[in-house]
């Protein structure tokens, strides 16, 4: 199922995409524009815009995905530039994975949609999230 990331929104200061692997539907990656190494290297205004965008996208995902909770991760260990993972977490997730970081999911589960969730469901979810995010950035 891995494909090119699906754009969510792009402004002069941020870019957000749906992650190519949607094993947790609604998984989004957020980047500052231009790219920079770490959060502390951003000046106050762009740093504030980045964090506000992360919070707004997380709030919209929480509502539209009916998430149990939201995970926000900024690690920078693999990709040496600032980016945030905004990940809805669900009550239907197996407890062994739900209680830890999404990266604990085995690869065979990360490359497919969750059981009972179709490509059509995913498209509807992405469209709803995209509409709400576009409204929030006006």
pLDDT single digits (tens) 22-42: 999 999 999 999 999 999 999
Angle in degrees, CA 49, 50, 55, rounded to 5: 95
- Residue ranges covered by each domain of the chain: 6-132
Q: Return the minimum-mean-pLDDT range out of 30-34, 57-61, 76-80, 94-98.
A: 76-80
Helices (H) and strands (E) in the chain — how many of each?
A: 4, 5
> CA–CA separation, 125 vs 121, rounded Å?
6
Task: Please give the DSSP secondary-structure letter assigned to residue 114.
Answer: P
Give CATH superfamily name and number for 6-132.
HIT-like (3.30.428.10)
Burial 35-58 (b: 16+ CB within 10 A, else e): ebeeeeebeeebbebbbebbebbb
Rounded (10°) CA dihedral 65, 97, 81, 122? -30
> CA–CA separation, 61 vs 138, rounded Å?
18
pLDDT single digits (tens) 103-128: 999 999 999 999 989 999 999 999 99
Asked if 78 contacts 103 with a C-beta cutoff of 8 angstroms, the reply is no
Q: Which residues contact 131 (CB under 8 A, 6 or more apart)?
A: none
Q: Which residues contact 22 (CB under 8 A, 6 or more apart)?
A: 1, 113, 122
pLDDT at 76: 79
Residue of 92 and 5 predicted with greater confidence:
92
């Amino acid at each position: 199922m891995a494909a090119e990331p699906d754009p969510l929104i792009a402004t002069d200061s941020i870019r957000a995409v749906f992650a190519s692997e949607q094993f947790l539907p609604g998984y989004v990656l957020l980047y500052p524009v231009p790219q920079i190494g770490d959060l502390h290297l951003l000046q106050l205004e762009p740093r504030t815009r980045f964090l506000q965008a992360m919070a707004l996208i997380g709030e919209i995902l929480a509502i539209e995905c009916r998430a149990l909770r939201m995970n926000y991760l900024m690690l920078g260990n693999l990709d040496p530039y600032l980016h945030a993972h905004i990940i809805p977490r669900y009550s239907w997730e197996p407890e062994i994975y739900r209680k830890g970081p999404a990266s604990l999911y085995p690869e065979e589960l990360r490359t497919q949609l969750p059981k009972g969730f179709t490509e059509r469901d995913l498209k509807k979810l992405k469209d709803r999230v995209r509409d709400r995010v576009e409204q929030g950035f006006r």
